[in-house]
Amino acid sequence: MSEPSFRRVALIGIGLIGSSLARVMRRETIAEEIVISTRSQATLDRAEELGLGDRYYRDAREAVEGADLVIVCVPVGACEAVAEQIAPGLAPGAIVTDAGSVKGAVIKAMKPYIPDNVHFIAGHPIAGTEYSGPDAGFASLFENRWCVLTPELGTDEKALAKLTAFWEACGSSVEIMDAEHHDLVLAVVSHLPHIIAYNIVGTADDLETVTKSEVIKYSASGFRDFTRLAASDPTMWRDVCLTNKEAILEMLARFSEDLSALQRAIRWGDGDRLFDLFTRTRVIRRQLIEAGQESAAPNFGRQNDRGEPGE
């Protein structure tokens, strides 16, 4: 991108997503000016220390004044309060978007506050790590990842094109989807896996017959894979569970149904059934690797001290 496409971009929230956006916007000169706002003074100070923006505000309304793009990067449950707060400061013609993992509830929460002369387009960059906060961000977080936008009927085409170009400049590919379908897709590919991971780590933590130190010691045999998702930001995931409830409960019901069948196959020693499932699932990983969505390196490419696999 040769010329900044936005004059002033306001980031509301400067955690993993916000701080990664700040970094990639700087690297790719996407914005002339980056304005950062977060409620916590300590986090705001840290963002300034890291040089993530050009101006810093605790008050989100002040931060959005004169911005032509506002990106709300806060947990889903905080989106309504932010929308209410920024509404009076929004410039006519500005684009407001977000980065939340749930779209239906966010649109419902934010939309009523957004003035008619402002373009609101909800979005979700499908990217992240298990770390949070302004230090956790990095410029390549969005590279080769998908960003889903869920514009409502009647959304201004030019605004949508501009927001699409923004995410492409950040390295992502953009997909347009309706909010309800997004929430269903994410319930299975993201919300269910996180909930299951949180649950299994909790189960292991509660055992009295196997000590916690044994769980940690022998975790390389499978368990540790789950601990990564279960180390994700608790506030973000509480909010996801509370706001995408219907889709999540539907996926949980299917998962439990399948698990009961699997449990029954184990109890009755139905080896063929087990073998069939275990063979079928193997194919999916291969397809994922072929689609460029996963590393083919064993153990995710985890390195030991000598830079060899197996750690």
Looking at residues 228 to 257 of the shown chain, list those that interact with a copy of itself (rule: CB under 8 A): 228-232, 234-235, 237-238, 241-242, 245, 248-249, 251-252, 254-256
Our CB check for a copy of itself shows the closer of 30 and 127 to be 127
Q: Is 154 an interacting residue with respect to a copy of itself (CB under 8 A)?
A: no
Q: Which stretch binds a copy of itself (CB under 8 A): 86-94, 152-160, 161-169, 300-308?
A: 300-308
Q: Is 155 an interacting residue with respect to a copy of itself (CB under 8 A)?
A: no
Q: Which stretch binds a copy of itself (CB under 8 A): 83-91, 108-116, 159-167, 280-288?
A: 280-288
Q: Is 275 an interacting residue with respect to a copy of itself (CB under 8 A)?
A: yes
CB of 278 to a copy of itself, least distance (A): 4
Q: Is 13 an interacting residue with respect to a copy of itself (CB under 8 A)?
A: no
CB 99 within 8 A of CB 17: yes
Residues 28-57 within binding reach of a copy of itself (CB under 8 A): none
CB 171 within 8 A of CB 197: no
Q: Which stretch binds a copy of itself (CB under 8 A): 45-53, 68-76, 82-90, 204-212?
A: 204-212
The amino acid occupying position 287 is Q
Our CB check for a copy of itself shows the closer of 2 and 209 to be 209
The binder of a copy of itself chosen from 78, 100, 144, 176 (CB under 8 A): 144
Our CB check for a copy of itself shows the closer of 50 and 91 to be 50
Q: Is 216 an interacting residue with respect to a copy of itself (CB under 8 A)?
A: yes
Our CB check for a copy of itself shows the closer of 117 and 297 to be 297
Q: Distance between CA 269 and CA 264 in Å, rounded?
A: 8
Residues 109-128 within binding reach of a copy of itself (CB under 8 A): 126-128
Q: Is 214 an interacting residue with respect to a copy of itself (CB under 8 A)?
A: yes
